[in-house]
Amino acid sequence: MSVFFLRRVLTLVATLFAASLIIFLVLDALPGNAAQMLMGADASPDAVRALTVKLGLDQPLTVRYLLWIKGMAVGDLGNSYVYGTPVAGLIAERLVLTIPLAIMSMLITVVLALAAGIYTAANHNKLGDVGVMSLTQVGIALPNFWFAILLILLFSVKLQLLSAGGFAGWDDGIWPGIRSLLLPAISLAVVQAAILARVTRSAVLEVLREDFVRTARAKGLGKREVLWRHVLRNAMIPVMTVMGLQFANLLAGTIVIENVFYLPGLGRLIFQSIANRDLIVVRNCVMLLAAMVVTVNFVVDMLYAFIDPRIKVSNL
């Protein structure tokens, strides 16, 4: 276990460093002078120089990179160029929305996908299977932001059940907040669930063909029991791989969906920061999203070994 674990941790750390380097280089080295971009083309050279010094942009590239890394280690991400407030605070404010949104949509995804995937595999080639699989084919083709707009059309414009956007916050208890995240979470989840359902279905079908399933049936276990006790556990490996990859899509998806519903989350913060040329905020947000993606995939890798001990051995 320890060698396996150590290898993965080292890869994780190396990946995070590489990601930070790329993000830093793309955002800080390429655009020339952030102060100039911030103040516009017609700012006086003196003012630009003063701002450059004030933002610490006069220091060499390597120093600024190391300062950023050091800052991340102690939780000090610097101050926003535009608002002047700490970036860490800005991000924390927004995560209160984005993390619950991501968790809600992942939950909806998993529930929908496992239900559809197991149902279709258990009813292989029957009418229900063909029907649900056709639906998932359409689901995969839907752009999630268009699906979101359709949900707004149905629930906000026609039925007037839910608001078309905005976030109620968590101050009045948990329900108003969840209510305002419901449509965004569903629109993120449906498309992902369509993909995951197909993966689940083919994984379950594959395991159903294994010898040990026949053995379990032969020793008298019912179909349902075999499915739940033997098949699912073995089918979870490919399903989890895809779930890990989907989490990356989901986070990227929140950027789009938060803009559809005017939700003040991380995605909208990144977006506004680009418009404001607030590169320090963009840099830290992108780093955070990339880190979340990498970390989730790391956790999935670890879970494999937990679910299927054979993997540890083969990866040593």
Partner 1 sequence: MSAPLTASAATSAIAPGARPVTGFWRRALRHRSFVLGAVLSLIVLGAALLSLVWTPWSATDIDIASKLRPPSAAHWLGTDVLGRDIVSLLLVGARSTIMVGVIAVGIGLSFGVCLGLIAAARKGWTEELIMRMSDFTFAFPAVLSAIMLAAVAGPGMVTSITAIGIFQIPTFVRVTRGSANAIWAREFVLAARAAGKGSFRITIEHVLPNILSILIVQATIQFALAILAEAALSYLGLGTQPPQPSWGRMLNDAQTLLFQSPMLAVYPGAAIAIAVLGLNLLGDGLRDLLDPRLARER
**Residue 32: burial class (beta carbons within 10 Å; 0-12, 13-18, 19+):** exposed
| Using rule CB under 8 A, residue 164 touches partner 1 | yes
| Using rule CB under 8 A, residue 161 touches partner 1 | no
| Using rule CB under 8 A, residue 182 touches partner 1 | no
Rounded CA separation 110/147 (Å): 19
Q: Which stretch binds partner 1 (CB under 8 A): 16-24, 57-65, 89-97, 223-231?
A: 16-24
Count, residues near partner 1 per rule CB under 8 A: 55
- Which among 249, 299, 307 is positioned nearest to 106, based on CA atoms? 249
Draw the binding track, 195-224, toward partner 1 (x: CB under 8 A; -: no contact).
------xx--xx------------------
Contacts of 130 by beta carbon, 8 Å cutoff, 6+ apart:
none
For partner 1, the binding residues in 28-47 under the rule CB under 8 A are 30-31
| Using rule CB under 8 A, residue 270 touches partner 1 | yes
Rounded CA separation 303/311 (Å): 10
| Using rule CB under 8 A, residue 152 touches partner 1 | yes
Contacts of 232-235 with C-beta under 8 Å, sequence gap 24+, read 232/118, 232/204, 233/307, 234/207, 234/210, 234/308, 235/200, 235/203, 235/204, 235/206, 235/207
Q: Which stretch binds partner 1 (CB under 8 A): 26-34, 53-61, 102-110, 177-185?
A: 26-34
Q: List 79's β-bridge partners, or say none.
A: 86
Torsion angles phi and psi, residue 32, rounded to 5: 80, -110
Binding site for partner 1 (CB under 8 A): 11, 15, 18-19, 22-23, 26-27, 30-31, 124, 133, 137-138, 140-147, 149-150, 152-153, 156-157, 164, 201-202, 205-206, 245, 248-249, 251-253, 255-256, 259-260, 270-271, 273-274, 279, 282, 286, 289-290, 293-294, 297
